[in-house]
Amino acid sequence: MEAATKVQVASWPPGSFDSSADRVTNPTSIPSSFSAYGEPYSWSGREALGPFSGLSSLNNNVHAANSDTTQLAAAASWLFGMEPETYLGILLRGAPDGPLRYDPAGQRRPSEVLNAADPTPGAPGLNSYAVLPTYPATNYMTDNGLFASVPGEAANHANNAMSAFQNLLRPPQVGADPERVRQGRAVFERAGCAGCHSGPALTNHRVIPAADIGTEPTRAKAGAKMEARLAAPGMFATDTPFPLPTDPKLVPLPIPEDKLPQLLLAWGQGGTEGGYKVPNLVGLAWSAPYLHDSGVAVGPDAQKDLGLPGTLEKGVSPDPANSLRALIDRRIRDRIVAANEGSEKARTARATGKGHGYWADEPAGFTEADQRVLITYLLSIDRLTEDLPTP
Ligand code: HEC
């Protein structure tokens, strides 16, 4: 099993990771850290509730769910169809030699090994958490009812502090020729891009059904099984001390009725197949390869360095301009998709580079000169479109 797992993990394109608890290998590119006005957060857009319009929810899930696989034991029955002890046994058998290593021939059950070595005894998992009474049920603010918290600070404080910091981050200035940028913006509008990529960070904050956007579909459903144990969205009041008092104040996070369909789509629940949110476009010069699956990648040699096998798999960094050209030109994109299909690693990672069929190419009535200024414009986006206060 360990050997089989390594094949899956080693398939992830560099700069991607998969911490979704769905037993499907479908890593996503590390999302943009230029987060201001980029809500809802994550590629699916499922982090949409609570402080900083969902950014604290994203930050919390990194530490309270993704980086602590031991906390998943409580949900193993409905997420993995597995006994919690079996799940923990698989996990801890591979722990580094030491107090957390489970020995199948030994006397102790996996949970006993974990409890004996746990730096936070009596609380779930290994990290330090404020625990909602609804743990381990998912609520749309936290995957499992846990909030990563530091003793001596308010519950969930570090996640909120990180959100405030992150919303201040701006990419380095690009310094493109303003006339070419203006021409490129006109092409962007003529090609219909601004229908979705609008607003201060060039996202309209919408989640688009996976079938409509046409990109790799499996990742959009990563949260589907969590529907089996849902609790009403809620969190601790932001001034709740940690460790928690005996009667901590809980704050419900009501979902406005008009927000519910988008939230269900983002989580792949409510009978939907899931979707991907319209990402913001700030800092594109720094975020190649493109799309959630990292599949749109072209290296410095636009003829030879095609797709993931032509770039990251052989240690070649994708070139932002060449990769963006492959995003908007279907003839180039077809070659990228074919190159990815020819790579066993990319197939294992489900990195296809398919979909998002919004073209600014010859069949759509655009010239190469149009493409060049459009790409100049896209790479020039190094700030919010208006001078706005930090959210
Ligand atoms: C119907 C809405 C919609 C339209 C129209 C649209 N986009 Fe997108 N765009 C999206 C979505 C959704 C994604 C994320 C898809 C995914 O990763 O699976 C995306 C992703 C992108 C990305 C990748 C961002 C990244 O960080 O990887 C770029 C660049 C982009 N779009 C530019 C454009 C351009 C240029 C146009 C016009 C030619 C355009 N988009 C038209 C919805 C749209």
351 within ligand 1 shell (Cβ under 6 A): no
Asked if 84 and 77 count as a contact pair (C-beta separation under 8 A), the reply is: yes
CA of 125 to the centre of ligand 1 (A): 37
Q: Radius of gyration (Cα) for the chain, nearest Å?
A: 22
pLDDT at 49 over 90: yes
pLDDT band for position 312 (cuts 50, 70, 90): very high
Percentage of the chain lying above the pLDDT 70 cut = 98
Please answer whether residues 384 and 352 qualify as being in contact, where contact means their C-beta atoms are separated by less than 8 angstroms: no
- Average pLDDT of the residues in 21-40: 95
343 strand-pairing partners: none
Confidence of residue 390 (pLDDT cuts 50, 70, 90): low
Q: Residue 175 above 90 pLDDT?
A: no
- Phi and psi torsions of 230, nearest 5°: -110, 140
**If you average pLDDT over residues 231-249, what whole number do you get?**
97
Q: What angle do CA 284, 286, 290 make, to 5 degrees?
A: 55
Q: Is 191 in the pocket of ligand 1 (CB under 6 A)?
A: yes
Tokens of 37: 């006005």
Of residues 272 and 123, the one with the higher pLDDT is 272
pLDDT digits (tens, 9 = 90+) for 340-387: 999 999 999 999 999 999 999 999 999 999 999 999 999 999 988 865
pLDDT confidence band for 105 (50 / 70 / 90): very high
CB 379 within 8 A of CB 320: yes
Q: How far apart are CA 220 and CA 198, in angstroms?
A: 22
Whether 328 lines ligand 1, by a CB cut-off of 6 Å, is yes
pLDDT score, position 389: 67
CA distance 355 to 278: 13
pLDDT in tens, 126-172: 999 999 999 999 999 999 999 999 999 999 999 999 999 999 999 99
Those residues with Cβ within 8 angstroms of residue 205's Cβ, 6 or more apart along the chain or in another chain: 39, 40, 199, 277, 278
Mean pLDDT within 121-129: 92
* Ligand 1 atom at minimal distance to the Cα of residue 207: 12
* 8 C-alpha to ligand 1 centroid (Å): 27
Q: Indicate the burial class of 354 (C-beta count within 10 angstroms; 0-12, 13-18, 19 or more).
A: buried
What's residue 174's pLDDT?
Answer: 87
Ligand 1 lined by 326 (C-beta under 6 Å): no
What's the rounded mean pLDDT across residues 258-274? Answer: 97
- 241 by DSSP, 3-state: which? strand
CB–CB of 277/44 below 8 Å? yes
Q: How wide is the angle at C-alpha 42 spanned by C-alphas 158 and 375, nearest 5°?
A: 120
Q: Note whether 83 and 316 are within 8 A (CB).
A: no
Find where tokens 């999302």 sit.
31
Q: Is 205 in the pocket of ligand 1 (CB under 6 A)?
A: no
Closest alpha carbon to 213 in 291, 283, 152, 153: 291
In DSSP notation, 54-72 reads GHHHHHHHIIIIIT-GGGG
Which atom, in ligand 1's list, is nearest to the CA of 275? 12
Backbone dihedral region of 78: left (phi > 0), alpha (psi from -120 to 50 degrees) or beta? alpha
370 HSE (CA, 13 A, CB side): 17
pLDDT for 388 beyond 70: no
- Residue 158 has which token pair? 């570090």
Question: According to the model, what pLDDT value does residue 206 have?
Answer: 98
Assigned token pair, 19? 């911490």
pLDDT given for residue 387 in this prediction: 58
In this structure, the number of other CB atoms found within 10 A of the CB of residue 20 comes to: 22
- Which residues, listed in sequence order, are joined to residue 148 by a DSSP beta bridge? 129
Q: Is the CB of 196 under 6 A from ligand 1?
A: yes
- Of the candidates 28, 352, 30, 328, the one whose C-alpha atom is nearest the C-alpha of residue 214 is 352
Q: Is the CB of 276 under 6 A from ligand 1?
A: yes
61-97: b or e for each residue (b if 16 or more CB lie within 10 Å)?
Answer: bebbbbebbbbbbbbbeebbebebeebbbbbbeeeee
Supply the pLDDT for residue 32: 86
Q: How far is the CA of 71 from the centre of ligand 1 (A)?
A: 34
Q: Which residues pair with 290 in a beta bridge?
A: 296
Rounded Cα–Cα distance for residues 43 and 63 (Å)? 18
Q: Does position 196 have pLDDT exceeding 90, yes or no?
A: yes
Is a pLDDT exceeding 70 seen at residue 329? yes
Confidence check: pLDDT of 260 > 90 = yes
pLDDT at 385: 81
